[in-house]
Amino acid sequence: MPVRNAAIAAIFDEIADLLEIESANPFRIRAYRNAARTIQGLGADLRVLLDQGEDLTQIPGIGKDLAAKIKEIIDTGSCAALRKLHERVPPALSDLLRIPGLGPKRVGALYKALGIRTRKQLQSALQQRRIRNLPGFGEKTEARILEVLQADLQKKRHFQLVTAAGYAESLVKYLKDTKGVQDVIVAGSVRRCKETVGDLDIVATARRDSPVMDRFTAYDEVKEVLSQGTTRTTIVLKCGLQVDLRVVPKTSLGAALQYFTGSKAHNIAIRRLGQRRGLKINEYGVFKNDRRVGGATEKSVYASVGLAYMPPELRENRGEIELARRGPLPTLVQLPDCKGDLHCHTRASNGGNSIREMALAARAHNLQYLAITDHSKGSSIARSLDERRLLAQWQEIDRLNDELEGIYLLKGIEVHILEDGRLDLADTILGQLDLVLGSIYSDFGLSRAKQTRRIQRAMNHPHFSILADPSGRLLEERGPINVDMARVIHEARNRGCFLELNAQPKRLDLVDSYCQMAKQEGVLISIDSGAYRTSDFDNLRFGVGQARRGWLTPADVLNTSSLGKVCKLLKRTMQ
């Protein structure tokens, strides 16, 4: 099976872990860490990029050495650098680094003094009170590590949606190519487009003589088979992701999909509605006494309790059932509704492709317009644009607009919102653009009041179009800033500007609950790729999934508008 991005990122992370235990050069460690984060959030498959002849060194943070290692991992499934480290450092030690409170120095001390390599050995030593006497530990540290370890053992690892979806799509393709298999559908959190996923649920229909379960357990990515039966089998992939496969008859497909898609709270509410009507609803169907009255389709399950079909993204028991009782559910935004993308980067700052290449890729993704929004000079991003370079970029955009058909380029910039709320480019420059994105790239730790005032002041600038990356979060890396988002959304309504939903998998920012809040306030959301290279336009689907979780319809989304209309809307923000 092909090596996936997540596996490459995991190898780079492990190399960084082992180098850290060895107290290697911190710059070298950081290079592997940054590369792993970049690869984890990359929308495109690295194998596909190599097959297409793409230069991997154009990806931010990937130099010639790391590009060569990526190719080696894709070709062989392994990496010589990691094997050499394994000869010097027990690989299990890297797992201990993931326990809060255990840095590389302490992990090294535990190994050298007590021979501790695994969590089980660590737990035993902690319970026997053998750690408190080691230099740098002590009784309180020992108790704290034991408490954290026990809590950590109970935690379930989660994967970013893009990673889980990649594994799910490969499995679906693999299982469909099995004799006797009819349907293979991903359910669970992936189907609901949750931003992180704990495990995969797959529902299938197949003939009784189909070898689908044996083929499932023979999948090359399988690390462990937890259980195997005729209707249910559970495996764990090498990446640590658990996958459940359920095989049901055609008559139960809709009921099984509804049940295994969840959420649990939504399903409980639906079953209670059924009970009030004398119905029993489970993964096998809808029953009145012993008679089946529904379950072949999901639509029949919802119809049995007097409701219209519910899109999976709404199934969180956050008011969708009450809304359905009052009338038809909203027609949620879909990927084809998006006519443009208002946030992308090029080689002029930290992107990997030229303006022309980004334009052609946007057109290939059926987009009609694309805003070029490289970083401004005040950000910490390398090669960010000053006034001189920005003016030169405008000339290139004009030339391409005269030359290219089927795609129109807008002149934009992503400016840094300074601590006091000012923007980092002069008004004389900003006023000549089609749109201005404002983002926070520093001073993340301001108080709630200061952070809120900072954003409000920025939004009231005469040349401010869209608040990009509104919460500033990076999934699994950096939490959201402390800001009163309700006040920010209210300010956006008063000012007449917009908020972004950045579709980058490590961002998915704005979160779904704030999308709902913006919808209620009448503030339009721009679903943007935030693309750094041509393959990142694939991420728009994840942004649309997040928007659907926030109940957004095409009328709630800025970039579902035609070019003419979106230009008029943006122009109102630039005066």
User: Mean pLDDT in the chain?
Assistant: 90
Q: What's the pLDDT score for residue 117?
A: 82
Q: Does 442 score more than 70 pLDDT?
A: yes
Torsional sign, CA 538, 402, 375, 464: negative
Residue 304 token pair: 């049995």
Domain with CATH 3.20.20.140 in the chain: 335-573
pTM: 0.79
pLDDT at 174: 95
Q: What 3-state class would DSSP assign to 291?
A: strand
Query: Is the domain covering 335-573 a CATH 2.40.37.10 domain?
Result: no
pLDDT exceeds cutoff 70 at 91: no
Above 90 in pLDDT, residue 489? yes
Local structure of residue 184 (DSSP, 8 states): E
Tell whether the model's pLDDT for residue 527 goes beyond 90: yes
| Residue 164 · residue 190 · CB < 8 Å | yes
Residue 378 pLDDT greater than 70, yes or no: no
pLDDT in tens, 280-309: 999 999 999 989 999 999 999 999 999 999
Q: Which helix (H) or strand (E) holds 126?
A: helix 119-127
Q: Looking at residue 468, what is its pLDDT?
A: 96
Q: What is the pLDDT of residue 54?
A: 85
* pLDDT of res. 139: 85
Better-scored residue on pLDDT, 464 or 386: 464
pLDDT of 490 over the 90 cut: yes
Instruction: Return the closest-CA partner of residue 434 out of 403, 472, 463.
Output: 463
Structural contact between residues 243 and 226, judged by C-beta atoms closer than 8 angstroms:
no
State percent of the chain over pLDDT 70: 97
Average pLDDT, stretch 68-87? 87
* pLDDT tops 60 at residue 1: no
Q: Over the stretch 446-478, which tens digit does the pLDDT of each residue have? A: 899 999 999 999 999 999 999 999 999 988 778
Distance, first Cα to last Cα, the chain:
55
Distance of alpha carbon 304 from alpha carbon 287, whole angstroms: 10
pLDDT given at position 446:
87
| C-alpha–C-alpha distance, residues 502 and 195, integer Å | 12
Q: According to the CATH classification, is domain 253-326 in 3.40.47.10?
A: no
Q: Is 80 exceeded by the pLDDT of residue 431?
A: yes
Instruction: Please tell me the predicted confidence (pLDDT) of residue 152.
Output: 65
Q: Where in the chain is the domain with CATH 1.10.150.110?
A: 5-154
Domain with CATH 3.30.460.10 in the chain: 159-247
In this prediction, residue 240 carries a pLDDT of 86
- The answer as to CATH 3.30.460.10 being correct for domain 159-247 is yes
Q: How confident is the model at residue 41 (pLDDT cuts 50, 70, 90)?
A: confident
Q: What is the pLDDT of residue 3?
A: 64
CB of 460 within 8 A of CB of 489? no
pLDDT given at position 121: 86
**CA–CA gap between residue 555 and residue 426 (Å, rounded):** 33
Per-residue 3-state assignment (H helix, E strand, C coil) for 285-325:
EEEECCEEEECCCHHHHHHCCCCCCCCHHHCCCCCHHHHHH
- Our CA angle for 420, 422, 425, nearest 5°, is 145
For the segment 235-245, the average pLDDT, to the nearest whole number, is 92
Per-residue pLDDT for 482 more than 80? yes
Q: What tokens appear for 194 in the block?
A: 């949750």
Fold entry, domain 5-154: DNA polymerase; domain 1 (1.10.150)
pLDDT digits (tens, 9 = 90+) for 168-227: 999 999 999 999 999 999 999 999 999 999 999 999 999 999 999 999 999 998 999 999
Average pLDDT over every residue of 382-408: 91
- When pLDDT is averaged across residues 126-147 and rounded to a whole number, the result is 85
Residue 115 has what pLDDT? 85
Average pLDDT for 73-86: 86
State the pLDDT at residue 363.
97
Q: Could you report the per-residue pLDDT of 305-323, keeping only the tens digit for each?
A: 999 999 999 999 999 999 8
Q: Is 202 helix (H, G, I), strand (E, B) or coil?
A: strand
| pLDDT in the model for residue 155 | 61
Q: Which of 30-39, 371-380, 390-399 has the lowest mean pLDDT?
A: 371-380
